[in-house]
Amino acid sequence: MIDRRQFLTSTALGLGGLTLPTVLRAQEEVEEPAFDLSPKLVSLDNPLPPGEIHVVPDVYSLYWTLPDAQAIRYFVGVGRDALYESGEFNVGAKKEWPSWTPTQDMIERDPDSYAQYADGMPGGPENPLGARALYLFQPGVGDTFLRIHGTNKPSTIRTDVSNGCARLTNEQVIDLYPRVPVGAQVFLYEKNLIARS
């Protein structure tokens, strides 16, 4: 197994040949318990094209890539194991204080929690999508109903908690949101590629 302080150079993900690049090494060191959720500028071992989002669920990290082999790392909460979806996406839409409607699958899984919102919930501080949302699309599919969004529950960051989306604190998604244009590529890597210590 690979230590969480190292990334694999070329681990096949079953995503049409997409591999997890050698991205970061020492940046994955996390000091407990005084954990800081603030975005951090990190250096990449190998450059990636700037202007992409890479979500690595095993270390609860989202990377917004920059020029000169750098990235901004944000910590995220990710989908519960059976609900997390890996793949390649693009940002098809962006919304500030978005409204939210649970999917039919969510309502069927947990009607007590979600049926009351079948007609939607307006945007605002209590909305599950938080202050900002990036909507993930795929060619030939359109909206996948996956989001990168905010939350007012910072205790859910660095956990497997959502119905498939990646969540940041509201403060962090407000920081990320203006950096990401519509059309930006998003890579959600498979789980369990990196051993958690």
Catalytic residue numbers, as ranges: 149, 165
Alpha helices in the chain (DSSP H): 104-109, 111-114, 170-176
164 residue type, one letter: G
60, two tokens: 């609860």
122, two tokens: 């307006």
Alpha helices in 12-110 (DSSP H): 104-109
Contacts of 20 (CB under 8 A, 6+ apart): 7, 8, 10, 11, 13, 56, 189, 193
Alpha helices in 85-163 (DSSP H): 104-109, 111-114
136 residue type, one letter: L
144 residue type, one letter: T
How far is 115 from 120, CA to CA, in rounded Å? 10
